[in-house]
Amino acid sequence: MPSGAMWRSCLCLRHGWRRLLNRPPGGPTASVGKRASIPIPFRAYAPPAERKRFYQNVTITQGEGGFEINLDHRKLKTPQAKLFTVPSEALAIAVATEWDSQQDTIKFYTMHLTTLCNTSLDNPTQRNKDQLIRAAVKFLDTDTICYRVEEPETLVELQKNEWDPILEWAEKRYGVEIGSSTSIMGPSIPTRTREVLVSHLASYNMWALQGIEFVVTQLKSVMLTLGLMDLHLTVEQAVLLSRLEEEYQIQKWGHVEWAHDYELRELRARTAAGVLFIHLCSESTTVKHKLLQE
């Protein structure tokens, strides 16, 4: 099959991108009252077992420290028994929706926003802002779209056509050099590039940084995460780009329907929740400023 036909049969992303053809984290505690290994994984609470829904109504109230979630007349608390309080009403509504959407059984592993809030409130690993930033930037050394294969030719071409535009956008957007490599050691990221990205992330608050590290860990890519944060990519596009090699192999060899479909949907759900968390935790003035810099 000609190389151009091969990658076109693999992906076809909307808005001029090629999109896939023929394709059909730690959870919260609800107390009341071929690549280099990933350097620093996102660390959050492990999901507890499912439990029967014990409340009827979910409401929001505003307290001194922010917005609180009420399950009937009991206030939601974190795994460390702190009062569950979030900084914005929009985030409180999103979290309340997670709790209200649970049916007879509470599935904690589906409640990604609640998990991120718990992690931000309890900070179980006691990391400060600088440590969160450097943990995220460290992923540059193993960024998915910076690693390239040398063969087969069709996959080489697919990576070039799908990933290069993202690197070019990021280099222009942030005025840095990134590049790609086929070496197992990965690309050589200039010191200035790291400094610029560290400075950019420092403009986000601690809550948003928890979300940023979470998304970076899901996609294994700083570049794709930045594309999502700047509204350059949709969640669907970023997820497909992060799974480019997997989707190529699936198109070539077939897939285990339930396993691959479940994995794809879970990754989309986690990524979408993380991106939403970032934006809901970012002050409106900061978000507006970042968008005006486009």
Nearest-angstrom CA–CA distance, 190 and 170: 14
What mean pLDDT, rounded, does the chain reach?
Answer: 83
Span 126-162, pLDDT tens digits: 999 999 999 999 999 899 999 999 999 999 999 999 9
Nearest-angstrom CA–CA distance, 276 and 78: 20
Identify the architecture of domain 58-122 in CATH.
2-Layer Sandwich (3.30)
Bridge partners (DSSP) listed for residue 75: 70
| pLDDT range class, residue 19, cuts 50, 70, 90 | very low
Contact 156, 10 (CB under 8 A): no
Mean pLDDT of 50-58: 94
Q: Running DSSP on this structure, what letter comes out for residue 230?
A: T
Mean pLDDT of 224-244: 97
Mean pLDDT of 260-274: 92
Nearest-angstrom CA–CA distance, 210 and 44: 10
Span 63-119, pLDDT tens digits: 988 999 999 999 999 999 999 999 999 999 999 999 999 999 999 999 999 999 999
What six digits make up the tokens of 265? 């949907």
Residue 76 CA, chain-centre distance (Å), reads 25
Nearest-angstrom CA–CA distance, 30 and 181: 45
Give the angle 124-129-132 at the CA atoms, nearest 5°: 65
pLDDT exceeds 70 at position 290: no
Nearest-angstrom CA–CA distance, 71 and 100: 9
Least confident of 6-20, 69-83, 143-157, 226-240: 6-20
9: left (phi over 0), alpha (psi -120 to 50) or beta: alpha
Burial class (CB in 10 A: 0-12, 13-18, 19+), 176: middle
Fold that domain 129-292 belongs to in CATH: ATP12-like fold (1.10.3580)
The pLDDT of residue 48 is 63
Query: Where are the domains positioned within the chain?
Result: 58-122, 129-292
